[in-house]
Amino acid sequence: MSERVPRPRTTPRVRAEIDLDALRANVRSLRARVSGAALMAVVKADGYGHGAVPCARAAKEAGAEWLGTATPEEALALRAAGLPGRILCWLWAPGGPWREAIAADVDVSVSASWSLREVTDAARAEGRPARVHLKADTGLGRNGCQPADWPDLVAAALSAQRDGLIEVVGLWSHFACADEPDHPATDAQLALFREMVGYAEAQGVRPEVRHIANSPALLTRPDTHFDLVRAGIAVYGVSPAPELGSSADLGLRPVMRLSADLVLVKEVPGGHGVSYGHHYVTPGETTLGLVPAGYADGIPRHASGTGPVLVDGKLRTVAGRIAMDQFVVDLGGDRPRTGSEAVLFGAGDQGEPTAEDWAQACGTIAYEIVTRIGVRVPRVYVNERPTG
């Protein structure tokens, strides 16, 4: 069992414990599976809700060679916190902080002529070339350059490289259906990726890294690893999809443990409505426990009546609606003391539910469960220093 940090004097009513040793173990396990490629730990969206900076540090301690973020602001925040090494960010809007990224030695992604123009202008102003990854749309239909526009983008990038304004260091793409192992789109995207990379290389691009794999592709398709894999959800110990197995099946350990202290335990008669709308009515005389966490904390309201919670060794279910700040569980006559811990999700090996269980209880993906945990929930870091 992992060691717990001493509780602060004022115990937060609800907290997300983040076990950085679990995160390091996940990174080591993922690196072992991609022996031929480097590993990028994706820490966008505040490290999928776990805290970007501590998670980025722990990932690097465990050997992650790269860090990845969606926005440039996220990448710049990592640099400002002192994180060294390669950082790639890929979600740019017109007028974005290109100069700041170049000055901070952050790699950038380019999918279109507008962003190539902006990055070359910024490089000229900064007096230093930008490190660019050209992104191909091989079938996701989201960001990335369409095959029909690829020759123009490659030609323009090579011209900017000859002018000393950029270095094309990466060629990359992103999968649409890697979480469905037998989906034919993955093979089709892979074939097109090879073609688009081949074209760019034939024109003279010499990429340092070619990359397309996310967590599900990392775990199921070694033929997609190329030079670099971009792992997000797996770093946090969460399975990308139930079809791929649980975290334990995948050799991963969930990093976040979300718990709260019961703030009230009381007896109520049968036939008593519970929470807004009275969607739950006590079937008989029972006890209710009040959990001080709600949708403002990121507990999905869609889990009303379905979310699982471990209280005093027993699995309970959210009774009635989840409100903004609180919800209720029916304790079936048990009387745990006020202050007893209610565990919403964790590693799953102490009888507690997992983020995957919550995803299933409310019809979403586990990515959303951990990422949406709100700013009102303090992150409590466990095992901040590497122990192994």
Catalytic residues: 44, 276
Q: Which is nearer to ligand PLP, 236 or 280 (CB)?
A: 236
Residue with tokens 């996701």: 140
Mark the segment that binds ligand PLP (CB under 6 A) among 154-162, 200-208, 232-240, 257-265: 232-240
Beta bridge partners of 66: 40, 86
1 is in an annotated binding site: no
Residue 126 in tokens: 């900064």
**Which tokens sit at 278?**
């009275």
| Using rule CB under 6 A, residue 42 touches ligand PLP | yes
* Nearest residue (CB) to ligand PLP, 69 versus 161: 69
| Interface pattern 58-97 for ligand PLP (x via CB under 6 A) | ------------x-------------------x-------
Distance CA 374, CA 297 (A): 5
Query: According to the binding rule CB under 6 A, does residue 144 interact with ligand PLP?
Result: no
Bridge partners (DSSP) of residue 169 are none
Contact between 232 and ligand PLP per CB under 6 A? yes
For 53-116, the DSSP string reads: HHHHHHHHHTT--EEEESSHHHHHHHHHTT--SEEEE----TT--HHHHHHTT-EEEE-SHHHH
- Regarding 215 and contact with ligand PLP (CB under 6 A), the answer is yes
Q: What letters, b where the CB count within 10 A reaches 16 and e where it falls short, cover 92-115?
A: beeebbbbbbbeeebbbbbbbeeb
Options 14-22, 97-105, 162-170, 230-238: segment touching ligand PLP (CB under 6 A): 230-238
Say whether residue 219 binds ligand PLP (CB under 6 A). Answer: no
Q: Give yes or no for residue 240 binding ligand PLP (CB under 6 A).
A: yes
Q: Which is nearer to ligand PLP, 27 or 380 (CB)?
A: 27
**What is the per-residue binding string for ligand PLP in 150-189, x denoting contact by CB under 6 A?**
------------------------x---------------
Residues 28, 385, 254, 18, Cα dihedral to 10°: -150
Q: Which residues are annotated as a binding site for substrate?
A: 142, 324
What does the binding site for ligand PLP look like in residue numbers (CB under 6 A)? 42, 44, 70, 90, 174, 214-215, 230-234, 240
